[in-house]
Structure 1
Amino acid sequence: MSESRLERRFAALKSEGRGGLVTFTTAGDPDYDTAFEILKRLPDAGADVIELGMPFSDPMADGPSIQAAGLRALDAGMTLRKTLQMVSDFRAADDTTPIVLMGYYNPIYSYGVDVFIKDALAAGVDGLIIVDLPPEEDDELCEPANAAGLHFVRLATPTTDDARLPKVLTNTSGFIYYVSIMGITGTKAASGDAVRAAVTRLKKHTDMPVAVGFGIRTPEQAAEVAAVADAAVVGTAIVERVKAGLSPDGIAGPNLVEGVVGYVASLAAGVRSARQG
């Protein structure tokens, strides 16, 4: 099998001697056109890998900000089919930046697993993060996705001990996403020492890149994580920039996209400064 976009990107980051920036936005938030404008500008702003959230009505692992983003997208008419269309539209101009879809199994199950995998590959999706499918359910989606050439990125947490970790890593590919704090997204941040210890432990079990997320809000925090991990993941804080750009009636304001893109550029600058000197 030829090297995937994710593999090429992390190999490039390693050769550059730096950690990467993984950004999360919700597809269709606050509307298709605005969300797509943000999406297509993320690479130039410094995003190395893009996580694109699949809106879902019951996002149990997400905090209030990402829950609200999903509801805004659903209210604007976003669907899983339109999410795949957004990736396809993005690929018309960018065939190098990896895109990983993140979300929950229910919409994929409703869409039809085999059809979804086929359509996702055709659209240019590189991988999946499905937060409510544990390794014990790998035959549902993980195994057929891997067999077709879609990476299946797994989450590890502070409670994923050394006995559990090999099971979590089975069938995982692309990278491992370390959730640095317990609880829902966007609530608090882990210390640099805790992240360093966690990455060191994970690296004893796998050669895969380790991306660390949850709670990163500032360029300084992103730099601290990128100094020890293969990538820093920022989601909630980006989604909150989208909300900040909305009018009182929920319409995208004239400065929304620039506000989001400028913020991502500041995070990227932090990440790129992490290992200098």
Structure 2
Amino acid sequence: MTTLQRTLAEARAAGRAALIGYYPAGFPDVESSIRIVQEMVAGGCDVVEVGLPYSDPTMDGPVIQQAADRALAAGTTPKDVFAVVRAVAEAGAAALVMSYWNPIERYGVDAFAADMAAAGGSGVITPDLIPEEAGPWISASDAAGLDRIFLVAPSSTDRRLKLTCDASRGFVYAASLMGVTGTRDKVAATARKLVERTREATRDSGLPICVGLGISNGDQAAEVASYADGVIVGTGFCRRVLDAPDLDTAGARVRSFAAELAEGVRAAAR
């Protein structure tokens, strides 16, 4: 079992969903981003997705794009990303990387997988990679013992759901709506239906289903936790750092936000 698999299994055994936070490495600088992910874990995140900043983030909304742009301007590299991954693992949470495919391919697929595993990472989320084109990544992740997380969406056909779930390991990422990341007033009505459809595709494997996009407070986290195995939140963490006057304030706000989300997730214990 990877740390991610064990973490999700423990949350399921406790009758609750896992809280998964996202934060881009290097924002506003590498050392500060390490401080922020540590606060996320201290506040209650079971899993942290470390974002690899990229110049063409097709799935990211304006807040995460702004954070990633600042990380890129600060000179953040994949090696820095692995340093943040290591910090997450050392803080006691399961560490993932979320990255578009181009940076992984440029780094070297096998080398990326090996360095991720060496940093203590559990797996990688690849939002723009589909299973049919993932042969090199499937081989590399198998060799390194990493989980590979693909995405499904409300537009996914039943065939696409099955194909994606069969190729995924760790969990499958259910994008709750057709759009980019960001906070919203309410959870998309498509989220529950997508999870129900994906459950059919994972009936034999029991693969966990985690929901992201648009979750911005504890009540919404509780709502999603009532039917999903994991609740994914990213924009709210970035927003609190962007709006803070200094790192100490940012850290306190991030920890408080994580605690609010963790309370919501636990309130929906099933």
TM range (shorter): over 0.9
Shift in Å at residue 86 of structure 1? 2.1
Distance 1:151 1:190, change over 3 A: farther
User: Which residue type is aligned with residue 255 of structure 1?
Assistant: T
1:191/1:89 CA distance change after superposition, 3 Å = closer
Distance in 2, matches of 1:183 and 1:89, equals 31
Q: Is the 1:180–1:190 contact (alpha carbons within 8 Å) kept by the matching residues of 2?
A: no
- 1:197 CA displacement: 2.5
Q: Which residue of 2 aligns with 1:228?
A: 227
Structure 2, unpaired ranges of 5+:
none
Alpha-carbon deviations, 1:8-63, whole Å to 9, x = none?
11111111111111100111111112110111222221101111100111111111
TM-score (norm 1): 0.91
Which stretch of structure 1 is more off in the superposition, 139-148 or 192-201?
A: 192-201
Residue 136 (structure 1) aligns with: 132
Deviation at 1:190, TM superposition (A): 6.2
Aligned to 1:239: 238
Residue identity matched to 2:267: S
Amino acid at match of 1:268: A
Aligned to 1:272, the other structure's residue is in SS state: helix
Which position in structure 2 is the counterpart of 1:123? 119
2:97 is the alignment partner of 1:101: yes
> Would the aligned equivalents of 1:45 and 1:261 in 2 still touch at CA under 8 Å?
yes
| Structure number having the greater helix percentage | 2
Percent identity for Structure 1 against Structure 2: 38
Counterpart position of 1:19? 17
Tell me the alpha carbon deviations over residues 163-203 of structure 1, each in whole angstroms, 9 at most, x when there is no partner. 22122123210001100000111164664764332222211
TM-score computed with the length of structure 2 as normaliser: 0.93
Partner of 1:275: 269
Aligned residues: 267
1:256 and 2:254 are equivalent in the alignment:
no
* Amino acid across the alignment from 1:131: P
**1:111 corresponds to which of 107, 112, 122:** 107
Find the aligned partners of 1:191 and 1:239 in 2 and give their Cα distance: 19
Measured on the aligned residues, the alpha-carbon RMSD in Å equals: 1.7
Take 2:167 and 2:266, find their aligned partners in 1: how far apart are those partners? 31
User: d(CA) in 1 for partners of 2:50 and 2:85?
Assistant: 9
Q: Which sections of structure 1, spanning at least 5 residues, go unmatched?
A: none
Secondary structure at the aligned position of 1:101 is classed as strand
Q: 2-side partners of 1:191 and 1:212: how far apart? A: 10
Q: Distance in 2 between matches of 1:109 and 1:198?
A: 30
